[in-house]
Amino acid sequence: MSSPTSPVLPRGKTRIGLTMNAWLVYVFFYAPILLLVVFSFSNDRNVGRWGGFTLDWYRAFGENEEIQQSLSASLRVALISTVVSVVLGTMAALALERFSFRGKKVFDGLLYLPIIIPDVTMAVMMLLFFSQLFDALDAWFGLGLSKGFTSIVLSHVAFSISFVSVVVRARLAGMNDQLEQAAFDLYASRWQAFRHITLPLIAPGIIGGALLAMTLSLDDVVITQFVSGPGSTTLPVYVFSLIRRGVTPLINAVSVVMLAASITLVALSLLADRAKSSPQPTPSKETDNA
Amino acid sequence: MSGLAVDGDLIVGDVPDQVAQANPEFERAAEKAESRRGLIMALPAYLYLLVFFALPLVIVFVYSFATRNRFGGTDLSGWNVEAYRKLGEPIVRDILFRSLWLAIITTVLCLLFAYPFSYFLATRSATTRNIMLVFVMIPFWSNFLVRNYAWRVLLGNDGPVSQITEAIGLGETRILFTPLAVVIGLVYGFLPFMILPLYASIERIDMRLLEASRDLYASGWQSFRRVLWPLSRPGVIAGSILVFVPSLGAYVTPEILGGAKTTLLGSYIVTQFLTARNWPVGASLSFVLMSVMLGATLVYFRNGGRTL
């Protein structure tokens, strides 16, 4: 909520200082990104030098099979983990906001942990868990499973549920349940009330949560690196390994494509945000990808 | 009441006596049914997190007390606290202090830029404010790896930064692979985490208090120090934790921008698992790291932080 009187900008030097600082922050935010876009079109083997316009690196991006494979893996992982975490996260949010049940406090705490926990710790947890699990499955049933697509999806769902439920809960908390009660008074069944009243009202929250889950899934490097197996890496993990081997203009082009994808997702989430009737603070991604 | 209204189909309109009579048993049964419904709704996510989150956490804890065998594997026997004792060794201690130090510098730098920025933002008109906020959100949501990579390009050999400093006669700069490069990358990555909570708390302040302080002849500095700063403290604490915590566990940034001499906690943990194959030490370090984060988060919630 805005304060009774909006703050006044001080005069004189302070004012100039504040304005300059604001510009500086924006230059700091955007100069690196814009320069990266420029250099992705540069016809020079040195990643940070302008050597005339070319689309070669984008062509190389399109032709590189490993990149295409990891890109498609990334998209499939993001899609599946988003759908699963949206369903589970929304149900959790409804349960926590609209019901009281045994063990609610514990569940609430458990739901917050994946948001707080550092990426590296989560990665370690998943690595140890899956190696234990696969050892056990091998010993008991003789299943020779190994880390790969499934373990990546399972891990992504594990951290996405919490983010989805936080976003949906913010939306649910912002609306009272009078409309739902009215629907019940008018003999709506539980399902009808949910389908025709609750769901449309929380839809922006669900969409926002889904976009957040998708962004997190497409962003993740550390956790995925720990649970992926040979032949099953996502694009960020593959790019990360490329960068460590040495930078090439090809990485510039891949980066710009990834950047464009995340900016599209931001734009979509801002649109979803605008559809919200009440102004609410946008939940942040917090510790993601540290 | 809600129990009755919710189970509307049980109430038949033409027998009002049944509704009028408060029946404690009926109420209790309805409450129980409600509780069961809530649990059933929560159950899928609950079970999922128990299996794929809580259980892994327990496994890490168990591994931190296990023994490393000669073949680089880990024996789940001979329980000991050797891995925790190793945290006191000079190499690990150096890494811990370095990570702590870089995380503190990052937090202070973010605060120095974000505070005036957030104040400036709060003084703008609603429209300008929204536009400015959107342009803070874009880097915030953009791919973290790519944003770090951008600095790798900028700071690289013969890169734009070096070209500029050479052009103005400062000579070549070699920032890449130094702690400075890591700090730049971390500030770049986490500055929005500082701006958003700070802005939220400054915007809420009743600015008449600032005016009152000026009317009472406080200097600009005094009214900042005595009025604005104390009132914005929840935002400062929230932002600082949101920056400090991920900086401390950072892995991607030091890997891309840091050099061999700037190994940080995150990279060290990863090395313990993927190359050194000393899982107990890696597990104990991740557990320590998580405890620090949990502690910080508790402080955050104590201070009334809500916007996660």
Integer Cα distance of A236 and A243 in angstroms = 10
Please say if the pLDDT value at position A190 is more than 70. Answer: yes
Q: Alpha-carbon distance B66 to A126, whole Å?
A: 17
Asked if residue B141 lies in contact with residue A285, where contact means CB atoms within 8 angstroms, the answer is yes
> A98 to chain B, minimum CA–CA distance in Å?
8
B39 to chain A: which residues are within 8 Å by CB?
A: 95, 99, 101-103
pLDDT of residue A45: 81
DSSP letter for each residue of chain B: -HHHHHTGGG--TT-HHHHHS--HHHHHHHHHHHHHHHHHHHHHHHHHHIIIIIHHHHHHHHHTTSEE-TTS-EES-S--SHHHHGGGSHHHHHHHHHHHHHHHHHHHHHHHHHHHHHHHHHTS-HHHHHHHHHHHHHHHHS-HHHHHHHHHHHHSTT-HHHHHHHHTTS-----TTSHHHHHHHHHHHHHHHHHHHHHHHHHHS-THHHHHHHHTT--HHHHIIIIIHHHHHHHHHHHHHHHHHHHHT--HHHHHH--GGG--HHHHHHHHHHTS--HHHHHHHHHHHHHHHHHHHHHHHHTT----
The mean per-residue pLDDT over the stretch B187-196 comes to 94
Task: Using CB atoms, pick whichever of A24, A127, A266 lies closest to residue B141.
Answer: A266
Q: Which positions in chain A touch B254 (Cβ < 8 Å)?
A: none
Lowest mean pLDDT among B9-13, B133-137, B224-228: B9-13
Contact call for residues B172 and B166 (beta carbons, < 8 A): yes
CB atoms within 10 A of CB A176: 9
pLDDT of residue A95: 93
Predicted confidence (pLDDT) at residue B9 exceeds the cutoff of 50: no
The CATH architecture to which A65-289 belongs is: Orthogonal Bundle (1.10)
pLDDT, mean over chain A: 85
Give the lowest-confidence range in A81-85, A270-274, B241-245: A270-274
Query: Is B140 an 8 Å CB contact of chain A?
Result: yes
Cβ-Cβ pairs closer than 8 A, A with B, add up to: 346
Length of chain B: 308
Greater model confidence, B259 or B117: B117
Q: What is the mean pLDDT of residues B4-22?
A: 48
Dist. CA A6–CA B128, nearest whole Å: 13
| Residue A201 near residue A275 (C-beta atoms within 8 A) | no
pLDDT bin (cut points 50, 70, 90) of residue A165 is: very high
Q: What percent of chain B has pLDDT over 70?
A: 90
pTM of the full structure: 0.84
Mean pLDDT on B248-266: 88
Residue B113's pLDDT band (boundaries 50, 70, 90)?
A: very high
Residue B190 C-alpha, separation from nearest chain A C-alpha, in angstroms: 9
The amino acid present at B228, given as its one-letter code, is L
Strands (E), A59-154: none
What SS3 state is found at A255?
Answer: helix
Span of A130-139, A188-197, A271-280, B17-26 with lowest mean pLDDT = A271-280
Checking if the pLDDT of A178 tops 80, the result is: yes
- Secondary structure letter of residue A276 according to DSSP: -
Q: Are B177 and B214 in contact (CB under 8 A)?
A: no
Higher pLDDT, A266 or A106: A106
Residues in B closer than 8 angstroms to A290, CB to CB, are: 189, 245-247, 249-253, 266
Domain boundaries of chain A, sorted by first residue: 65-289
Contact A115, A161 (CB under 8 A): no
* Distance separating alpha carbons of residues B199 and B204, to the nearest angstrom: 9
Query: Does position A1 have pLDDT exceeding 90, yes or no?
Result: no
For residue A98, give Cα distances in angstroms to A108, A288, B31, B220: 13, 28, 13, 48
B256 touches chain A (CB under 8 A): yes
Q: ipTM > 0.90?
A: no
Kindly report the nearest CA distance between residue B92 and chain A, in angstroms.
Answer: 16
Lowest mean pLDDT: which of A37-46, A125-134, B45-54, B110-119? A37-46
Interface touch A35/B150, C-beta < 8 Å: yes
Closest CA to A36 of B146, B183, B141, B158: B146
What DSSP assignment string belongs to B104-117? HHHHHHHHHHHHHH
- Amino acid occupying residue A121: T
Is the predicted pLDDT of residue A286 greater than 80, yes or no?
A: no
Give B-chain residues touching A119 at CB under 8 angstroms: 246, 249, 251, 266
Residues A43/A54, Cβ–Cβ less than 8 Å:
yes
Q: pLDDT band at residue B182, thresholds of 50, 70 and 90? A: very high
Interface probe for A, chosen from B252, B253, B271 (most Cβ of A below 10 Å), is B252
d(CA B272, CA B269): 5
What's the whole-number mean pLDDT along residues A154-166?
95
**Range B222-240 average pLDDT:** 89
User: Is residue B2 pLDDT above 50, yes or no?
Assistant: no
What is the model's pLDDT at position B43? 93
Q: Encode pLDDT of B68-84 as tens digits.
A: 877 767 777 778 888 88
- Pairwise CA distance, residues B119 & B198, whole Å: 8
pLDDT cut 70: percent of chain A above it: 90
Q: Give the model confidence (pLDDT) of B36-65 as tens digits.
A: 888 999 999 999 999 999 999 999 999 999
**A71: pLDDT strictly greater than 90:** yes
Is the Cβ–Cβ distance between A169 and A96 less than 8 Å?
yes
Q: How confident is the model at residue B3 (pLDDT cuts 50, 70, 90)?
A: very low
Using an 8 Å Cβ cutoff, are B153 and B159 in contact? yes
How many other C-beta atoms lie within 10 A of the C-beta of residue B32?
Answer: 11
pLDDT tens by residue, B125-158: 889 998 999 899 888 888 899 999 999 999 987 7
Mean pLDDT of the A11-24 span: 88
Average of per-residue pLDDT values in chain B: 85
Distance CA B204, CA B192 (A): 18
**Residues 6 or more apart in contact with residue A48 via CB below 8 angstroms:** A39, B153, B154, B156, B158, B159, B160, B163
Task: Look at A108-112, A257-261, B261-265 and tell me which has the smallest mean pLDDT.
Answer: B261-265
Residue B182 C-beta-side C-alpha neighbours within 13 Å: 30
Q: What is the pLDDT of residue B8?
A: 43
Instruction: Look at A119 and B249 and tell me if their CB atoms are within 8 Å.
Output: yes
Nearest to B142 among A4, A88, A263 (CB): A263
In the structure, what pLDDT confidence band is assigned to residue B275 with cuts at 50, 70 and 90?
confident
Mean pLDDT of the A206-214 span: 91
Q: What is the mean pLDDT of residues A34-49?
A: 87
Residues 6+ apart with CB under 8 A from B296: B241, B244, B245
pLDDT digits (tens, 9 = 90+) for A88-101: 999 999 999 888 88
- Given this model, what pLDDT does residue A23 score? 95
